A and B are shown apart, each in its own frame.
Chain A
Amino acid sequence: MQDFAGAFGLAFGLIASGDPDLFEIVGLSMRVSLTALLLSCLIGFPIGALLVVRKFFGRGIVIALVNSMMGFPPVVIGLLVYLALSRAGPMGWLGLLYSPTAMIIAQTLLIAPIVAALSRQVLEALQAEYDEQFRSLGVSRGSAMLALIVDGRYGLVTVALAGFGRAVAEVGAVIIVGGNIEHLTRVMTTAIALETSKGDLGMALALGIILMSIAVSVNLGASALRAVAERQAYA
C-alpha cells in the first residue's frame, strides 16, 4: 500500500503546486467538453421540444431511435468520426483529425442525442400541462417550443449537466480522434489512461481527483439550482 499512499501524496502535491502540465490538461478537457455541451444543447433542446410539440407520423420511431442513440458506444462514434475526418474520408480535406475540434465533434455526436432524448422527457410533462391552454390561445408551434424550453429551463439544466458529465468522463471517442497528443489533444481521461499504463500514478490520481471533484460539484450545483427553482415554484 506504500505506492498508494505515495501516489496520493504526489497527487495533492501536483494540485497544490499548480503544476502547469496538469492544469493545461484540465483546461483543454473543460474547453472541449463545454463546447461540445453548448453545441449539443443548441441541437438537442429544439429537437426535444419539436418531438414534444409535433405529433407527426412515425414520431414514436424517431423517439425510440433518439433514445437508443443515448446508449451508443463512444468508441464506435470515435471510429465513425475518425473515418469521416481521416485523410481518405469525405471530410479529410478539413485536416481536423487529431485536433481539439475533432474531439469536440465526436463529443457533440455522443451527447447531443442524450440531451435531445432527456429534454424530450422533461418537456413532455410540461407539454401535457400547457398543450390545451396553448391551443386555446392559438400559440404557434415555434412559440410553443420556445415557451417550453424557457419554462422547462431548470429541468433542462439538469439535462445539460448529465450531458456534460458524460462528455467530460468519456475516453473512447476522444482518444481515437484526438490521439492523446501532449500539449495538443491530451485531456483528463486520456491522460489518466496513459499515465496509469506508464506507472505514473501520481499524475493519474491527481487528474482523477480533479475529474471527480468536477463531477461532484456539477451535481451539487444542479441540486442547489433545483432547490432554488422549487422555492419559486418554477421547477
Chain B
Amino acid sequence: MPDAAPLIPQKNPEAGPPTPRDRLLPGALRLERLSLQVAGKTLVDIAKLSLEPRSVTVVMGPNGAGKSLFLRLVHGLIPPTSGWVSWGEVACGEATRSTQAMVFQKPVLLRRSVSANIDFVLRHRAGTKAERRARREELLTRVGLAGQAEQPARLLSGGEQQRLALARALATRPKVLLLDEPTASLDPASVQMIEQIVLAASAEETKVIFVTHDVGQARRLADDVAFLHHGQLVEHRPAAAFFNSPTSEAANAYLAGRIVL
C-alpha cells in the first residue's frame, strides 16, 4: 500500500540536525511491513515507519485503532505475524526490551508497599544498598509519593498508582519510555505531574512514545504524531504540521471532534 507510506518527520528545532549516528541510538525505531493478524483478522498493518531517537512521539487514533497493540509489538511483548522492528539497528527482542520501560494503562503494582515496588526493580541493578535507597527516595520524591513510601501500593488512588508505575519504569533508567494511555481517567493533578515527568525524561534524551486519544494532551507533549486508524498508519508528521493541517480524512475528523468509525 504505497499511499500508507509516511512522510519523513522533520527534526524538532532544538535537537539540532540529525547525524548519521542517530540511527544507531537505542531510541531510533524502524519498522517495515509490520502486521499482526489474529484469527484471520488484520489488527495492525504498517508498511513503514521510522522515529527520531530523541523526540516525544505521540500515537493517536480512535478506540480500536491498534495503538496498544502497536506499542506491544514495538516493545516485543507480542510477536508480529510478519515484518520486522528494530531499535538503533538492533532487532527488537529481549536485548532491546531491557533498555526500555513500559507504563500500562492500568498500572500493575505488586501486592507490597510503595517502596517495595521500586525496590523490586532496583534490586537487580548495580550499586550499594545505600545508593539504591537514595535512588528510590529520589524517584518517589519525583512523582510526589515520598510521604507514602510504606503504604500498601494497591491502596493508593488511581493517579498515585500510575505515578508509582511511572517511577518504577524510570527506575530502570530506560532509553525508551513507552506509555499506553497512562493518564486515561486520572485526576488533573496526576495528569499534569505525569506529563511533566515524561517531558523531563525526554529532555534527558529518553525516547518517548506516548499513546493517547486526548487531543489536548497530544498538543502539549508531541514533537511528532503518528495517527493510526483501523490498524494502519495513516499519517506521521511533526506535531505542528499535523495539528494545523492533517492530510488524512480520519485525522481531520478526529481533531475536529467528530466520531471516527
Binds A, one of B95-103, B133-141, B246-254: B95-103
- Smallest CB-CB separation from A235: which chain B residue? B111
- Smallest CB-CB separation from A132: which chain B residue? B77
Interfacial chain A residues near B108, Cβ < 8 Å: 129-130, 132-133
- Smallest CB-CB separation from B108: which chain A residue? A133
Q: How far is the CB of B78 from chain A (nearest CB, A)?
A: 9
Interfacial chain B residues near A233, Cβ < 8 Å: 111, 152, 154-155
Q: Which B residues from 84 to 107 make CB contacts under 8 A with A?
A: 94, 97-98, 100-102, 104
Residues 116-142 of A, flagged 1 when their CB comes within 8 A of B and 0 if not, give 000000000000011011011110000
Counting CB contacts under 8 A, is A197 at the interface? no
Q: How far is the CB of B176 from chain A (nearest CB, A)?
A: 11
Interfacial chain B residues near A130, Cβ < 8 Å: 108, 110
Using known A-B contacts A133-B104, A137-B121, determine if residue A234 contacts B77 with beta carbons closer than 8 Å: no
- Smallest CB-CB separation from A234: which chain B residue? B111
At the interface, is chain B mostly helix, strand, loop or mixed? mixed
- Return the contact of B152 from the options A133, A138, A232 (Cβ within 8 A): A232
Counting CB contacts under 8 A, is A50 at the interface? no
- Separation of A235 and B72 alpha carbons in the complex (Å): 28
Counting CB contacts under 8 A, is A147 at the interface? yes
Q: How far is the CB of B110 from chain A (nearest CB, A)?
A: 6
* Residues of A in contact with B (beta carbons under 8 Å apart): 129-130, 132-133, 135-138, 143, 147, 150-151, 232-235
**Contact sample, A vs B, 20 pairs, CB 8 Å cutoff:** A132-B77, A132-B108, A133-B108, A135-B77, A136-B75, A136-B101, A136-B102, A137-B101, A147-B120, A150-B112, A151-B110, A151-B111, A151-B112, A233-B111, A233-B152, A233-B155, A234-B111, A234-B112, A234-B152, A234-B154
- Smallest CB-CB separation from B99: which chain A residue? A138
Interfacial chain A residues near B124, Cβ < 8 Å: 143
Contact B111 A138 (CB under 8 A): no
Interfacial chain B residues near A135, Cβ < 8 Å: 77, 97
Interfacial chain B residues near A143, Cβ < 8 Å: 124
- Smallest CB-CB separation from A134: which chain B residue? B108
- Smallest CB-CB separation from A151: which chain B residue? B111
Contact A132 B104 (CB under 8 A): yes
- Smallest CB-CB separation from B124: which chain A residue? A143
Counting CB contacts under 8 A, is B172 at the interface? yes
Using known A-B contacts A147-B120, A151-B112, determine if residue A232 contacts B77 with beta carbons closer than 8 Å: no
- Smallest CB-CB separation from A152: which chain B residue? B111
- Smallest CB-CB separation from A153: which chain B residue? B111
Supplied contacts A135-B97, A232-B155, A234-B112, 9 more A-B pairs, CB within 8 Å: A130-B108, A132-B77, A132-B104, A133-B102, A133-B104, A136-B101, A137-B121, A138-B94, A138-B98
Contact B111 A136 (CB under 8 A): no
Q: How far is the CB of A57 from chain B (nearest CB, A)?
A: 17
- Separation of A137 and B112 alpha carbons in the complex (Å): 17
Interfacial chain B residues near A138, Cβ < 8 Å: 94, 97-98
Interfacial chain A residues near B120, Cβ < 8 Å: 147
- Separation of A232 and B156 alpha carbons in the complex (Å): 11
Contact A136 B110 (CB under 8 A): no
- Smallest CB-CB separation from A233: which chain B residue? B154
Interfacial chain B residues near A132, Cβ < 8 Å: 72, 77, 104, 108
- Separation of A232 and B150 alpha carbons in the complex (Å): 12
Which of B77, B104, B111, B124 has the most chain A CB within a 10 Å cutoff? Answer: B111
Which of B97, B98, B108 has the most chain A CB within a 10 Å cutoff? Answer: B108
Which of A136, A143, A235 has the most chain B CB within a 10 Å cutoff? Answer: A136
Interfacial chain A residues near B97, Cβ < 8 Å: 135-136, 138
- Separation of A235 and B112 alpha carbons in the complex (Å): 10
- Separation of A177 and B102 alpha carbons in the complex (Å): 55
Interfacial chain B residues near A232, Cβ < 8 Å: 152, 155
Interfacial chain A residues near B94, Cβ < 8 Å: 138
